[in-house]
Amino acid sequence: MSIIDFPGGKKGKTGAASECFKAFAEHASEYEELTQDKGEAIVIYLTAVGISLGGNVQDPDGFNMLLDMAKHALLSRCFGADLEEDSPYSTH
């Protein structure tokens, strides 16, 4: 699985974190320009030295909710229908 796999068939590539950040920025820019929808984003950057967290979410609960949604989306893609279908984070 690639590091970046966008909806709509755009396939990413495995590469350096900086390449991933650039690809995400391009994707967000295209989407925001097309839809006028300014989304919320969080960034988790993990290295051998430590972890950096950031984003445009002001509320700690909102930040945590986005983390939960991301975790569920990843698990949903890996395990599909084995996850609870009535979950508020369902990606099916």
Domain that holds residue 55: 48-92
Burial of 51 (0-12, 13-18, 19+ CB in 10 A): exposed
Q: Quote the mean pLDDT of the chain.
A: 75
Residues 35 and 2 in one domain: yes
Number of domains in the chain: 2
pLDDT at 91 over 70: no
Residues 17 and 57 in one domain: no
pLDDT tens digits for range 58-69? 888 888 888 888
pTM: 0.58
pLDDT tens digits for range 34-57? 998 888 888 888 889 998 888 888
- Rounded CA-CA distance 20/4 in Å is 7
Place of tokens 């509320």: 59
Residues 52 and 80 in one domain: yes
Residues 17 and 55 in one domain: no
Looking at residues 76-91, what average pLDDT do you find?
Answer: 59
Residues in contact with 31: Cβ distance below 8 Å, sequence separation at least 6, in sequence order: 37, 39
Angstrom CA distances, 78 to 4, 5, 31, 48, stand at 15, 13, 25, 26
